[in-house]
């Protein structure tokens, strides 16, 4: 039976909307590489049973989501033989003839005596001639894009077994040079695909290192608005900002612990850039690294027990990844291959490490993945000057910044390297993406 439920992201839509200052430039995904044999699926245009034109085309958003994943090949609507909107209208032979393995149908109607709309959808397995899932989701017309992403998440999970991440958000920084003396910086919030981009902060001073709290209610970043780098925390529901640090020297690279109780950061208040951990309740600071090399780019292990970081403590001006266990202070080197390894993050299973890697001083910087058990390292990209990787919450994709045509762009690649896409903007540079947690 179909299940009627309210849209989970209603609160999230309100939450993000209150913090918006202006509209940002829209990012548009360009698939550069997909899987060799994507799953054929037909998404029939959803039937609108009301009056007027809806502000969002649900069918187009779902098709875009599935195509962007690189795992699916949606059928062109011009090739469809029929346009069913519910199970009683589905004839499996039509879709087998077109080579579709799956079929998604739906309709949109106005709730009785309400400003809400109801989106009913059903997913069918064409090969086995069976209904896989179906439900009704209600929300406002302005939430149709959220509803579309939510449907895509369900379809993706039912077919692949992996939770979909189409309902997630990204942060990123853009910069636009206005003159030799003035550069405008923006901290932006958008859907995972760049849709509904919004400006959270504008400044003529650099903005760096955006990051999410584990519950996605807050973000942290580094701003030079006081002419010196300082760490700020911003509440997304109210827009309220708090300056978290004001230490002499460097204040940078904030990142919440997975349990949300602490924040790792880089401070040079004692002279040398070292990794510190702040208890967010008491504001007590603990110095984690204590040597003369520059330590930077902290990231947490999934259980919050240890921190990975980039350091040149091995000498020869060759940054490598190290790990320090917080309970004992025990430090060990993690990477040995190549002349440069930085910006490491563990996948949720703790078995693999995503990082920026350069094998030789004459090579490019590329995104790579390292299996910690086997010690093997594999290059995932062929782009230039890769930096700032951020992992999707379902661990299926990694988004990162790179250069193309002399400007900064965002790219994404699947963990296995098979799927690649690009999110360009019309002008300016875009960098330092941060993928949100799941928003539920």
pLDDT at 52: 85
Please check whether residue 365 lies inside any domain of the structure.
Answer: yes
Considering the domain architecture, whether residues 254 and 370 belong to the same structural domain is answered as yes
Considering the domain architecture, whether residues 199 and 318 belong to the same structural domain is answered as yes
One DSSP character per residue, 320-339 reads: EEEEEETTT--EEE---SSS
CATH number of the domain at 100, please. Answer: 3.40.50.10070
Joined together, the tokens standing for residue 11 give 């609160």
Exposed e or buried b per residue across 413-433, where buried means at least 16 C-beta atoms within 10 angstroms of its C-beta: bbbebebbbbbbbeebbbbbb
Give the residue numbers spanning the domain of 409.
169-435
In this structure, what are the phi and psi dihedrals at residue 273, rounded to the nearest 5 degrees?
-65, 115
Considering the domain architecture, whether residues 137 and 185 belong to the same structural domain is answered as no
Considering the domain architecture, whether residues 421 and 301 belong to the same structural domain is answered as yes
Strand partners, 174: 186, 430
Please check whether residue 56 lies inside any domain of the structure.
Answer: yes
One DSSP character per residue, 244-313 reads: ----SS-EEEEEE-TTSSEEEEEE-TTSS-EEEEEETTT--EEE---SSS-EEEEEE-TTSSEEEEEE-T
- Which distant-in-sequence residues (6+ apart) come within 8 Å of 415 by Cβ? 347, 352, 369, 380, 395, 396, 397, 398
Considering the domain architecture, whether residues 320 and 381 belong to the same structural domain is answered as yes
Considering the domain architecture, whether residues 277 and 403 belong to the same structural domain is answered as yes
In this structure, what are the phi and psi dihedrals at residue 204, rounded to the nearest 5 degrees?
-95, 10
Q: How far is the C-alpha of 41 from the C-alpha of 43, rounded, in Å? A: 7
Torsion over CA: 337, 305, 254, 146 (sign)? positive
Please check whether residue 196 lies inside any domain of the structure.
Answer: yes
CATH number of the domain at 395, please. Answer: 2.120.10.30
Pairing of strands 130-139, 4-6: parallel
Q: pLDDT tens digit string along 351-371?
A: 999 999 999 888 889 999 999
Q: Which of 125, 160, 195 is the last residue of a domain?
A: 160
- Which distant-in-sequence residues (6+ apart) come within 8 Å of 153 by Cβ? 163, 164, 165, 166, 167
Please check whether residue 7 lies inside any domain of the structure.
Answer: no
Q: How many CB atoms lie within 10 A of CB 6?
A: 11
Considering the domain architecture, whether residues 78 and 183 belong to the same structural domain is answered as no
Q: Which helix (H) or strand (E) holds 123?
A: strand 117-125
Return the C-alpha torsion angle 295, 296, 297, 299, nearest 10: 50
Considering the domain architecture, whether residues 317 and 403 belong to the same structural domain is answered as yes
Considering the domain architecture, whether residues 411 and 316 belong to the same structural domain is answered as yes
Q: Which of 132, 160, 188 is the last residue of a domain?
A: 160
Considering the domain architecture, whether residues 245 and 228 belong to the same structural domain is answered as yes
Domain total for the chain? 2
pLDDT at 28: 56
Q: Which of 160, 194, 215 is the last residue of a domain?
A: 160
Please check whether residue 29 lies inside any domain of the structure.
Answer: no
pTM score > 0.75 for this model? yes
Joined together, the tokens standing for residue 280 give 């967010």
CA angle, corner 311, sides to 305 and 315, nearest 5?
Answer: 135
Please check whether residue 335 lies inside any domain of the structure.
Answer: yes
pLDDT at 1: 38
Considering the domain architecture, whether residues 340 and 410 belong to the same structural domain is answered as yes
Pairing of strands 102-110, 47-48: parallel
Considering the domain architecture, whether residues 203 and 152 belong to the same structural domain is answered as no
Joined together, the tokens standing for residue 55 give 């502000």
- Which distant-in-sequence residues (6+ apart) come within 8 Å of 83 by Cβ? 44, 45, 47
Q: Give the DSSP letter of residue 77.
A: G
Please check whether residue 152 lies inside any domain of the structure.
Answer: yes
In this structure, what are the phi and psi dihedrals at residue 303, rounded to the nearest 5 degrees?
-95, 10
**CB-CB contact of 275 with 288 (8 Å):** yes
Residues in the chain predicted with pLDDT less than 70, given as ranges, are: 1-36, 424-427
Q: How far is the C-alpha of 93 from the C-alpha of 86, rounded, in Å? A: 16
- Which distant-in-sequence residues (6+ apart) come within 8 Å of 114 by Cβ? none
Please check whether residue 26 lies inside any domain of the structure.
Answer: no
**CB-CB contact of 304 with 348 (8 Å):** no
């Amino acid at each position: 039976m179909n299940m009627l439920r309210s849209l989970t992201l209603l609160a999230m839509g309100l939450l993000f909307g209150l913090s918006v200052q202006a509209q940002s430039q829209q990012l548009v995904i360009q698939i550069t590489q997909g899987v060799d044999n994507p799953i054929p699926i037909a998404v029939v245009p959803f039937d609108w049973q009301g009056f007027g034109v809806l502000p969002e085309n649900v069918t187009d958003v779902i098709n875009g989501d599935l195509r962007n994943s690189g795992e699916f090949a949606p059928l062109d609507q011009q090739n469809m033989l029929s346009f069913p909107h519910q199970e009683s209208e589905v004839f499996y032979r039509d879709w087998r003839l077109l080579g579709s393995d799956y079929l998604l149908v739906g309709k949109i109607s106005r709730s009785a005596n309400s400003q809400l709309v109801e989106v009913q959808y059903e997913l069918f397995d064409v090969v086995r001639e069976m209904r896989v899932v179906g439900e009704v989701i209600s929300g406002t017309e302005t939430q149709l894009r959220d509803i579309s992403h939510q449907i895509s998440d369900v379809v993706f999970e039912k077919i692949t077994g992996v939770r979909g991440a189409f309902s997630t958000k990204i942060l990123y920084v853009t910069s636009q040079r206005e003159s030799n003396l003035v550069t405008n910086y923006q901290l932006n919030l958008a859907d995972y695909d760049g849709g509904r981009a919004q400006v959270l902060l504008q400044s003529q001073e650099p903005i760096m290192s955006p990051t999410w709290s584990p519950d996605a209610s807050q973000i942290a970043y580094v701003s030079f608005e006081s002419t010196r780098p300082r760490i700020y925390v911003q509440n997304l529901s109210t827009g309220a900002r708090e300056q978290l640090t004001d230490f002499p020297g460097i204040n940078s690279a904030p990142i919440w612990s997975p349990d949300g109780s602490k924040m790792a950061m880089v401070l040079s208040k004692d002279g040398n850039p070292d990794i510190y951990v702040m208890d967010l309740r008491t504001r007590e600071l603990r110095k984690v690294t204590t040597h003369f090399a520059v330590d930077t780019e902290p990231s947490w292990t999934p259980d919050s027990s240890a921190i990975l970081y980039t350091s040149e403590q091995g000498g020869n001006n060759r940054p490598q990844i190290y790990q320090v266990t917080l309970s004992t202070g025990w430090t060990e080197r993690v990477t040995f291959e190549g002349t440069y390894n930085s910006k490491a993050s563990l996948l949720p299973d703790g078995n693999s490490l995503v990082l920026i890697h350069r094998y030789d001083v004459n090579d490019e910087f590329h995104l790579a993945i390292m299996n910690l058990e086997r010690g093997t390292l594999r290059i995932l990209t062929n782009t230039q000057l890769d930096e700032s990787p951020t992992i999707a919450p379902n661990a299926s994709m990694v988004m990162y910044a790179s250069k193309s045509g002399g400007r900064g762009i965002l790219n994404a690649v699947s963990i296995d390297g098979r799927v690649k896409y690009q999110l360009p903007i019309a002008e300016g540079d875009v960098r330092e993406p941060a993928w949100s947690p799941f928003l539920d």
